[in-house]
Structure 1
Amino acid sequence: MKKTQRAMSILLWLAVWLCPALAQGEEARRVIVAGGALTEIVYALGLADRLVGVDITSSFPPETEKLPKIGYLRNLGSEGLLSLRPDLVLAIAEAGPPEALAQIRAAGTRVEIVATPNTPEGGAQKIIAVADALGVSSRGQELEQSYRAAWQATQQAVAGYRDRPRVLFILAHTGGNPMVAGRDTAADAMIRLAGADNAGAGFEGYKPMSAEAIMAANPEVLLITTEGVDVLGGLDPLWDHPALRLTPAGHAHHIVTLDSLYLLGFGPRLPDAVQELARRLRTPETE
């Protein structure tokens, strides 16, 4: 234990020596981002050249594939992250563990945590927070105005729909047993923003995809991420599920698949994502 603590102390000392510290008012030039929506904003601000690393949820735009990866945002390692010599780490509130973030700060690296409410207003707040952290507030205001205009157009488009389909979101892209989404989840927020009803609104959070939960939900449309379909090995496991087969969605094979970051990220593409979801829920794919 003592040897481990001594080794960590040495690593942190080296990190303090190697990592460039920002002077007062100096713009960050070596930025690491933990959170796909934040990475999208950095690109939208035209500052991709400042990125030296991103987490694995940062999958858009495609250029992010070329950047060094720091792992999953909830399981960050300070040693690997600091080896990239960042002068700023931008992270969403879910990033951690806290010990790793504390070690990064102790090494003299600035860490900015950005709140991530699952609301359209939250998307605007992220834009301003990222722009301010990067020292480009005026660019952030321009991007925010564009985002708000796009969101207004989306609201008008969604208001034109009169039906409210019952939609059940299936969480499968994280691995393990599939779950279904209830209230107070990102999926619930997206379904409601698209002018539909969450078929899982009878419970809070996520719960196992049991026959009881599915029959109670009785969805007309299924919603799942493309990554979730990959994890399941295709759509057959859904249509073969004995409870799902008995629902209106199962009878009609009505399903909508979208990229997880696009669907659940609540980033700058939110207006487009909501408008596409609203349209496709009314004209779902038949698989």
Structure 2
Amino acid sequence: MRITRHSLILGSLLGMSLGMAQAAERIVVLSSDIADIMVALKAENLVVGRDSLSKAPTLAQAKNIGMFRNLTAEPIVALKPTVVLGSYMVNPASIYGQLKRQQIKALNVIPQQSEQSFAKGIVEVGKYAGKSPQAGALAQTWLRQMQARAKTGKRYVFTYDGQMVAGKNTVADTLIRLAGGVNAAAHIDGMKPIARETWLTLKPDVVVIAQHSLPAVGGSVAAFKQRPEIAASAAARSNKVVAMSAGEAFSLDLNSPKTVDKLHALAR
């Protein structure tokens, strides 16, 4: 039987999930990816604080601690949490150290933008929620759903605002690979701005732009497609220029398998 990387990770997660932990009584979640895991584990009753983008109705009782991109320690400390859980999405990253200096247990449970890190983060959240078996099962299911789709050879470009594009070592690059496509900007490391002339060399079959950036590119996908560098692409000619939320296109979360399916379907 062929042993895949995902099989090894699944086995590791299964072992991690066997250890039962007592639930923390007061949990603050710093970012929406962690909040969504708490909701999926039906542990919302333990959450006393959450960031402003975590808007699940079942978290309505939790205090708003502010935007995850610009957090301060004071409103978190005021909630007297048993533990604070966040991910790589949280800014400033120094917030974890600030809270620890206040004698508060603060953990970055998803430190990297990778499938393995996210799956391990699910298991870690489960420990503090007192839901280890459920978290182990959720992590395994998520990893199975994130297995790569059939290769299509289609060229994708993810752009944040019409200028910044996602190269290698980004979530967008991971999503493109899992969708069976090719990142046309893979020669770039991270998120970088490119000139309009460079767009012509990328020759994308699919272009994804962050939904909230549409006002900066004319107000709509239709207006964005009229830019000469976009209009000249196969993506524009075949109506494969689409807008997605920044969370959907540029970060991993529990809904990422659906995003991969959506991207794979765009290759048809």
For the aligned pair, the TM-score class normalised by the smaller chain equals 0.7 to 0.9
In the alignment, the residues of structure 2 paired with residue 261 and residue 66 of structure 1 have an alpha-carbon distance, to the nearest angstrom, of 23
Letter in 1 for 2:104: T
Is 1:208 equivalent to 2:173 in the alignment? no
Residue 227 to residue 98, structure 1, CA distance change in 2 (3 Å) = closer
5 Å-filtered alignment, 1:23-102, equals 27-58=23-54, 61=56, 63-64=58-59, 67-102=62-97
1:123 pairs with 118, 121, 124, which one? 118
5 Å-filtered alignment, 1:146-157, equals 146-151=141-146, 155=148
2:106 pairs with 111, 114, 121, which one? 111
Letter in 2 for 1:253: N
Q: Tell me if structure 2 keeps the 8 A contact 1:33–1:53.
A: yes
Q: Tell me if structure 1 keeps the 8 A contact 2:225–2:241.
A: no
- Counterpart for residue 243 of structure 1: 229
In the alignment, the residues of structure 2 paired with residue 185 and residue 145 of structure 1 have an alpha-carbon distance, to the nearest angstrom, of 23
Q: Point out 4+ residue stretches in structure 1 off by more than 4 angstroms.
A: 61-67
Q: Tell me if structure 2 keeps the 8 A contact 1:122–1:266.
A: no
Is 1:138 equivalent to 2:133 in the alignment? yes
Larger radius of gyration: 1
Q: Tell me if structure 2 keeps the 8 A contact 1:123–1:270.
A: no
Q: Which runs of no fewer than 5 residues in structure 1 stay unpaired? A: 1-24
Q: Which has a greater percent of helix? A: 1
TM-score of the aligned structures, taking structure 1 as reference length: 0.75
5 Å-filtered alignment, 1:2-21, equals none
1:171 pairs with 143, 151, 160, which one? 160
In the alignment, the residues of structure 1 paired with residue 178 and residue 72 of structure 2 have an alpha-carbon distance, to the nearest angstrom, of 36
Residue 146 to residue 206, structure 1, CA distance change in 2 (3 Å) = closer
Deviation at 1:89, TM superposition (A): 0.9
Is 1:262 equivalent to 2:248 in the alignment? yes
Q: Which runs of no fewer than 5 residues in structure 2 stay unpaired? A: 1-20
In the alignment, the residues of structure 1 paired with residue 80 and residue 216 of structure 2 have an alpha-carbon distance, to the nearest angstrom, of 34
Letter in 2 for 1:190: L
Measured against aligned partners, the alpha-carbon deviations of 1:42-78 in whole angstroms (never above 9, x if no partner) come to: 111110122222224435x465577433223242111
Letter in 2 for 1:102: G
Measured against aligned partners, the alpha-carbon deviations of 1:156-206 in whole angstroms (never above 9, x if no partner) come to: xx22xx53211111113xxxx741111111111111110001111122112
Deviation at 1:115, TM superposition (A): 2.8
Q: Tell me if structure 2 keeps the 8 A contact 1:30–1:52.
A: yes
The alignment of Structure 1 onto Structure 2 pairs a total of residues equal to 247
Residue 234 to residue 268, structure 1, CA distance change in 2 (3 Å) = same
TM-score of the aligned structures, taking structure 2 as reference length: 0.80
Residue 100 to residue 117, structure 1, CA distance change in 2 (3 Å) = closer
- SS of structure 1 residue aligned to 2:108: strand
Measured against aligned partners, the alpha-carbon deviations of 1:63-108 in whole angstroms (never above 9, x if no partner) come to: 5577433223242111122223322210113424355433322333
Residue 65 to residue 151, structure 1, CA distance change in 2 (3 Å) = same
User: Once the two structures are aligned, what percentage of the paired residues are identical?
Assistant: 26
Residue 276 to residue 246, structure 1, CA distance change in 2 (3 Å) = closer
Residue 122 to residue 98, structure 1, CA distance change in 2 (3 Å) = closer
CA RMSD, aligned part only?
2.6
Q: Tell me if structure 2 keeps the 8 A contact 1:29–1:87.
A: yes
